[in-house]
Amino acid sequence: MANLNSSFLLFLSLNLFHIFHTAIARGGERDSGFVDKTYAASGRHLFEENHFQKLNTLAHGYMTNSDLEKAIKAFHGRCGHLSRIYSIGKSVLGVPLWVMEISNNPGKEEAKPAFKFIGNVHGDEPVGRELLLLLANWLCDNYMKNPLATLIVDKVHLHILPSMNPDGFSLRRRGNAKGIDLNRDFPDQFFPMNDDFNKRQPETKAIMNWLKEMRFTASASLHGGALVANYPWDGTEDKSKSYYACPDDEAFRYMAKLYSHSHHNMSRSKEFEEGITNGAHWYPIYGGMQDWNYIYGGCFELTLEISDNKWPPANELRMIWQFNKMSMLDLVASLVKSGVHGRIFSSDCGEPLPASIAIKGINYTIKASERLADYHRLLVPGQQYEVMATMPGYKTRTTTIVMGDEPMTVDFILEPDFSLSSSFLPNHCSNRSSLKIFKLISKPHLQVSLTLVLILAFLCFLMKRKAIVNHFKVRKSVGQRRVSAV
């Protein structure tokens, strides 16, 4: 009898609830089975044992690992108001992998895009680590003086890892202390390799864990041995050396060209048209960091080959920095000077919804951030796109935008979907309130429960009315686009 009563009450409250809950509602020497046939020929990955002595001499003028750590700390000491430093893990030999974050609100979660630069992935390609310290210091010195520096510091969270492979650097070799090419140590989309997390190198693990914690809209890793901006895919399904386009080929070509054309002479390359290349078209690699970032990290990553000479004399570093400076700045700034950005909210309780954003015709989805529900999607100017926001338990919303030369802001307000099939799906607002009701029902005081259910139902009713009124207020802005001034 008591069971019957509580079932009835459950039935009643579920129904009441349904009626009202709208209201509350990227050559390795590594033998992985994938040998780069073009490896030796490419120049990019030339590694000769007898280079060691030469490289030791060449290292003169470059920062040692401890110099680098000091330079990072000195930067922070000087520019603490717009920076934070943290380590994402340690190399095999225990060297901390220091990151400098540059922003006017370092360490704070904000509805802004984030960019990361990773240098020295290959131990014998040290130009990047030097340039990245120059970049950080330039931003600090030019904040509030140079518009591009100010824009980057104010509107982007820039994370800089000058050396991903400090052990390889001190050993003057490509791989890490274990001789593993870190740019072949990531899980691969086509072939089962590096799938065992425990066998992965600590430097690789550090990057993978970093991407679990932090959302990056785009990134670039810095290499040497060529002069070209390389974009995904890096590998092909049939291991052939051929152009293999990823879903965002156009956006990647746009980013890569932005880099090559802002560079001193990268775009005038004789080897690569406009100074850019599809990775697999140049030569396919597997287990690389670049493709992994795009597939698993939601991050658009380029692999930048910034000097023909892997280890140029240190007195050329300033010149190489000047050649790459505008490219680096323009690439980071492109996150806020182009693309579509916005936040997603629920119409019922106004809470931020970590929904997914997809573009019709592009098989790639990005997720809005968990807490602030902001999203940042790179797109190519001069084209029309259908932007779609989806969240389980909510009705999908689509809006058409025409990208001009300016970035766009499109906020979405999603309505809960109460159609039968999805009515039991957890929904951000209703979840909590339904739990409350279930808890009440499980208690013995049925009378009290019933009263509370009715009071809740009445409150729901009042809130729903208010939500409807609010809904119509905000609705006008739903799907509308405003061009933000940056």
Q: Is 390 in the site for ligand NAG (CB under 6 A)?
A: no
Q: Is 315 in the site for ligand NAG (CB under 6 A)?
A: no
Q: Is 442 in the site for ligand NAG (CB under 6 A)?
A: no
x/- map, 17-46, ligand NAG, by CB under 6 A: ------------------------------
Q: Is 73 in the site for ligand NAG (CB under 6 A)?
A: no
Of 265, 400, 442, 477, the one binding ligand NAG by CB under 6 A: 265
Of 81, 108, 268, 439, the one binding ligand NAG by CB under 6 A: 268
Tokens 């994402």, residue located: 88
Render the burial of 159-175: b for 16+ CB within 10 Å, e for the rest. bbbbbbbbbbbbbbbbb
Determine whether 275 is exposed, middle or buried from the number of CB atoms within 10 Å of its CB (0-12, 13-18, 19+): buried
The footprint of ligand NAG on this chain (CB under 6 A) covers a number of residues equal to: 9
* Residue 125 appears among annotated catalytic residues: no
Q: Is 269 in the site for ligand NAG (CB under 6 A)?
A: yes
Q: Between residues 153 and 228, which has the closer beta carbon with respect to Zn ion?
A: 228
Task: Collapse the DSSP code of 397 into the 3-class scheme (helix H, G, I; strand E, B; otherwise coil) and give the result.
Answer: strand
If you compute the radius of gyration of the chain from its CA atoms, what whole number of angstroms results? Answer: 26
CA distances from 478 to 235, 345, 347, 355, 365 (A): 40, 10, 10, 15, 21
Q: Which of 255, 244, 190 is nearest to 219 (CA)?
A: 255
Q: Between residues 69 and 374, which has the closer beta carbon with respect to ligand NAG?
A: 374
Which one of ligand NAG, Zn ion, none interacts with residue 122, CB within 5 to 8 A by kind?
A: Zn ion
Q: Is 428 in the site for ligand NAG (CB under 6 A)?
A: yes
Render the burial of 430-447: b for 16+ CB within 10 Å, e for the rest. beebbeebeebbeeeebe
Q: Between residues 66 and 398, which has the closer beta carbon with respect to ligand NAG?
A: 398
Least Å distance between CB 201 and ligand NAG?
Answer: 26
Q: Is 426 in the site for ligand NAG (CB under 6 A)?
A: yes
* Tokens linked to 295: 């597939």
x/- map, 208-237, ligand NAG, by CB under 6 A: -------------------x----------
Q: Between residues 319 and 455, which has the closer beta carbon with respect to ligand NAG?
A: 319
CB-CB contact of 336 with 407 (8 Å): yes
Which one of ligand NAG, Zn ion, none interacts with residue 223, CB within 5 to 8 A by kind?
A: Zn ion
Which one of Zn ion, ligand NAG, none interacts with residue 313, CB within 5 to 8 A by kind?
A: none
CB-CB contact of 345 with 412 (8 Å): yes
| Alpha carbon distance, N-terminus to C-terminus of the chain | 67
DSSP, res 359: E
User: Closest CB to Zn ion belongs to which residue?
Assistant: 223
Q: Between residues 224 and 352, which has the closer beta carbon with respect to Zn ion?
A: 224
One of 305, 351, 386, 415 is an active-site residue; which one? 305
Least Å distance between CB 435 and ligand NAG?
Answer: 6
- The CA distance from 182 to 205, in Å, is 10
The stretches of 156-288 forming alpha helices (DSSP H) are: 166-170, 202-213, 249-262, 279-282
Crossing angle for the helix pair 446-475 and 2-20, to the nearest 10 degrees: 10
Q: Is 363 in the site for ligand NAG (CB under 6 A)?
A: yes
Q: Is 338 in the site for ligand NAG (CB under 6 A)?
A: no
Residue numbers at the binding site for ligand NAG (CB under 6 A): 227, 265, 268-269, 363, 426, 428, 431, 435
Residues marked active site are found at: 305
